[in-house]
């Protein structure tokens, strides 16, 4: 007898169901599994990928796919000339990875999988990439990195390309949901973009390569075999390398599956599969619930500030105080921040010594905003990190966790030496689901980032291509136009 439990009362499977269930999950009789009596999730996802086309995507999803792509290309251009990307390109060239795929914002060309790594790393270099708020995964980086690398070697229409992008983002976010659900009992040290990003990249690449059902199943299973990433990389160049590897892994998985390399279809949710090993109490229903009708990519957020998104509500609060009261930094006695617990779990660093450390420092950004009244690329650079006034304010700053505050909420209190007290409370941070960035704001962000490496005219041309990518006969035109 096989008995299945999934949160609802258990039931005994019929004989046909039992045979199917044992075949797919390879379990022994009488061992309960947190799953369903249906095919493994890889089959459900493969079917979703195979049957989804541009014409049957909701209009809101189509619009969001364009917004995600515009944001990603801008972030990639803005991070393409950073020290970490320079090092990664040198390493790729030294290891013999030259090829024909262009790198955004650069003159080098690499093989597809290496280009996926570099372009994804560039998009994450300033921590300006998008974020699925419920899971804190950065979905577009690995997916677009893999998809545009394929478009550099093959001709795909804009509609086909954007469909694959939307599918990849959706699959990545749903895998992340299952793993990050508090009930799943996964360790908080997993870097979820690295863990789930490969699935999104494999889904997008598999869609573009038009893999059949069985090969898509293998591609997703091979992505599960490579899923990894730990938060200890935060504050180092490795913070961008992890999602870059996810882009490479997913693309490689799709290439291998296309060539006939197979993998067990229960590698995600079966016995000794990814979920059981990484998140032993994960519920597969988090991946498949309302698949194709309720899109997680519509809950994606775009960052107005180049740092960890958990810091953004505190930035908004400090910006409000700076704009209203213009407090002189040397006259500030004390700063008190009240934040969601996730802010200190992910951005606890005080007095960071590098720009990469500052990307995930709640204290640095609050201090920088109160000194300079801004939160842009310049406030994340080493000159600002070393600024004496910024560091002095961090020494006079305290931050406390408040369970009642949502991830997009924060409070700031600035006490002055003359006795004045300034307060600000943010109910929904800029860029959150409740206060999303408008098209105008996204286009402006794109311009600021793209013009770091492109001329004004070239930046405007690439933006137009991104906005109109659905109308292109060859989506790879974006990559070629954005390369140097």
Residue 177 lies in a domain: yes
Residue 431 lies in a domain: no
User: Do 283 and 319 belong together in one domain?
Assistant: no
Taking the CB of residue 425, how many other CB atoms lie within 10 A of it? 15
Give the separation between CA 218 and CA 266, rounded to whole angstroms.
Answer: 10
User: Do 390 and 420 belong together in one domain?
Assistant: yes
pLDDT tier at 451, thresholds 50, 70, 90: very high
What does the angle CA 278 – CA 279 – CA 285 come to, to the nearest 5 degrees? 130
The pTM of the full predicted model, rounded to 2 decimals, is: 0.90
Calculate mean pLDDT across residues 388-412. 97
User: Do 474 and 364 belong together in one domain?
Assistant: no
Domain that holds residue 8: 3-38
**pLDDT over 60 (residue 210):** yes
User: Do 137 and 202 belong together in one domain?
Assistant: yes
Residue 379 lies in a domain: yes
User: Do 320 and 386 belong together in one domain?
Assistant: yes
Q: How many domains does the chain have?
A: 3
**pLDDT over 60 (residue 264):** yes
User: Do 325 and 272 belong together in one domain?
Assistant: no
User: What Å distances lie between residue 455 and 78, 136, 481, CA to CA?
Assistant: 13, 33, 12
pLDDT tens digits for range 311-330: 999 999 999 999 999 999 99
pLDDT tens digits for range 403-444: 999 999 999 999 999 999 999 999 999 999 999 999 999 999
What CATH number does the domain containing 232 carry? 1.10.4100.10
User: Do 177 and 292 belong together in one domain?
Assistant: yes
What per-residue confidence (pLDDT) applies to 39? 76
User: Do 114 and 252 belong together in one domain?
Assistant: yes
pLDDT tier at 15, thresholds 50, 70, 90: very low
Own/partner contacts of 419-422, CB < 8 Å, gap of 24 or more, are 420/325, 422/321, 422/324, 422/325, 422/327
Mean pLDDT of the chain: 92
User: Do 345 and 285 belong together in one domain?
Assistant: no
Calculate mean pLDDT across residues 169-185. 97
User: What Å distances lie between residue 368 and 31, 159, 358, 389, 420, CA to CA?
Assistant: 55, 42, 10, 8, 21
Residue 274 lies in a domain: yes
Q: Which of 388, 377, 376, 138 is nearest to 242 (CA)?
A: 138
User: Do 264 and 157 belong together in one domain?
Assistant: yes
Residue 123 lies in a domain: yes
User: Do 124 and 199 belong together in one domain?
Assistant: yes
**pLDDT over 80 (residue 25):** no
User: Do 203 and 180 belong together in one domain?
Assistant: yes
Residue 436 lies in a domain: no
**pLDDT over 80 (residue 309):** yes
Residue 19 lies in a domain: yes
Give the separation between CA 182 and CA 369, rounded to whole angstroms.
Answer: 33
Residue 153 lies in a domain: yes
Give the separation between CA 163 and CA 196, rounded to whole angstroms.
Answer: 19
**Partner residues linked to 338 by β-bridges:** 400, 411
**pLDDT over 80 (residue 9):** no
What CATH number does the domain containing 380 carry? 3.30.1330.120
pLDDT tier at 38, thresholds 50, 70, 90: low
Give the separation between CA 10 and CA 443, rounded to whole angstroms.
Answer: 52
pLDDT tier at 35, thresholds 50, 70, 90: very low
């Amino acid at each position: 007898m096989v008995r299945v439990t999934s949160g609802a009362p258990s039931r005994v499977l019929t004989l046909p169901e039992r045979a199917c269930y044992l075949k797919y999950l390879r379990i022994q009789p009488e061992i309960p599994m947190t799953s369903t009596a249906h095919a493994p999730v890889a089959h459900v996802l493969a079917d979703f990928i195979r049957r989804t086309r541009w014409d049957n995507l909701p209009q809101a999803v189509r619009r969001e796919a364009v917004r995600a792509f515009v944001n990603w290309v801008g972030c990639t251009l803005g991070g393409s000339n950073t020290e970490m990307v320079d090092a990664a390109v040198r390493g790729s060239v030294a290891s013999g990875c030259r090829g024909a795929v262009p790198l955004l914002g650069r003159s080098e060309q690499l093989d597809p999988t290496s280009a996926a790594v570099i372009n994804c790393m560039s998009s994450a270099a300033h921590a300006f990439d998008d974020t699925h708020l419920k899971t804190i995964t950065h979905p577009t980086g690995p997916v677009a990195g893999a998809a545009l690398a394929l478009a550099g070697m093959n001709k795909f229409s804009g509609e086909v390309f954007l469909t694959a992008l939307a599918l990849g983002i959706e699959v990545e976010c749903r895998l992340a949901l299952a793993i990050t659900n508090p009930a799943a009992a996964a360790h908080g040290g997993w870097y979820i973009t690295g863990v789930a990003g490969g699935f999104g990249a494999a889904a997008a690449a598999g869609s573009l390569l038009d893999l059949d059902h069985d090969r898509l199943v293998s591609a997703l299973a091979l992505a599960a075999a490579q899923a990894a990433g730990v938060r200890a990389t935060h504050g180092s160049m490795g913070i961008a390398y992890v999602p870059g590897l996810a882009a490479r892994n997913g693309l490689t998985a799709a290439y291998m599956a296309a060539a006939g390399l197979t993998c067990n279809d229960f590698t995600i949710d079966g016995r000794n599969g990814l979920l059981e090993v990484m998140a032993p109490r994960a519920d597969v229903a988090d991946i498949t619930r309302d698949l194709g009708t309720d899109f997680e990519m519509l809950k994606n957020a775009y960052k107005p500030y180049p740092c960890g998104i958990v810091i953004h509500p505190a930035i908004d609060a400090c910006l409000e105080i700076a704009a209203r009261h213009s407090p002189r930094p040397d006259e500030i006695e004390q700063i008190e921040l009240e934040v969601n617990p996730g802010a200190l779990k992910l951005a606890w660093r005080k007095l960071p010594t590098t720009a990469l450390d500052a990307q995930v420092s709640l204290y640095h950004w609050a201090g920088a905003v109160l000194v300079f009244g801004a939160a842009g690329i310049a406030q994340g650079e080493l000159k600002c990190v070393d600024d004496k006034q910024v560091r002095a304010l961090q020494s006079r700053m305290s931050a406390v966790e408040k369970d009642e505050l949502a991830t997009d909420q924060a409070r700031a209190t600035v006490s002055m030496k003359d006795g004045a007290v300034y307060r600000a409370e943010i109910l929904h941070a800029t860029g959150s689901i409740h206060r999303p960035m408008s098209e105008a704001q996204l286009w402006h962000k794109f311009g600021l980032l793209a013009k770091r490496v492109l001329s004004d005219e070239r930046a405007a041309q690439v933006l137009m291509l991104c906005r109109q990518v659905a109308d292109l006969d060859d989506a790879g035109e974006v990559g070629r136009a954005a390369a140097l």
